[in-house]
Amino acid sequence: MMRKLTSRATFFHKKIFPLIWFGFLGAFLYEGLVANVSGRGPGIMLILVPVCMAAFGYFIMKKLIFDLVDEVWDE
């Protein structure tokens, strides 16, 4: 009898969460670019913070999440 050892949440952690993370950061970056072009924005921080968060998130996800195995079965 084979027993599954991996979590059912692996798909969420590897596929869905990065999509949500980078999607929201992309939306914030877009808003910062639009605000700075129109001259009504609070400045460069609205662009710099999402870029730094994306870089930090990518390196953390690369180290901890992207190398997770999809399925592990114990035979």
> Could you tell me if residue 73 is inside a domain?
no
> Could you tell me if residue 6 is inside a domain?
no
Selected residue with higher pLDDT from 71 and 43: 71
Binning pLDDT at 50, 70 and 90, where does residue 41 land?
low
Q: What span, in angstroms and rounded, lies between the C-alpha atoms of 56 and 62?
A: 10
Residue span of the structural domain in which 37 resides: 12-67
pLDDT at 53: 96
Neighbours of 49 (CB within 10 A): 14
> Could you tell me if residue 53 is inside a domain?
yes
Binning pLDDT at 50, 70 and 90, where does residue 46 land?
confident
Residues 53/25, Cβ–Cβ less than 8 Å: yes
pLDDT digits (tens, 9 = 90+) for 20-34: 999 999 998 888 888
**What 8-state DSSP symbol labels residue 8?**
T
What number is the average pLDDT over the span 5-22?
A: 91
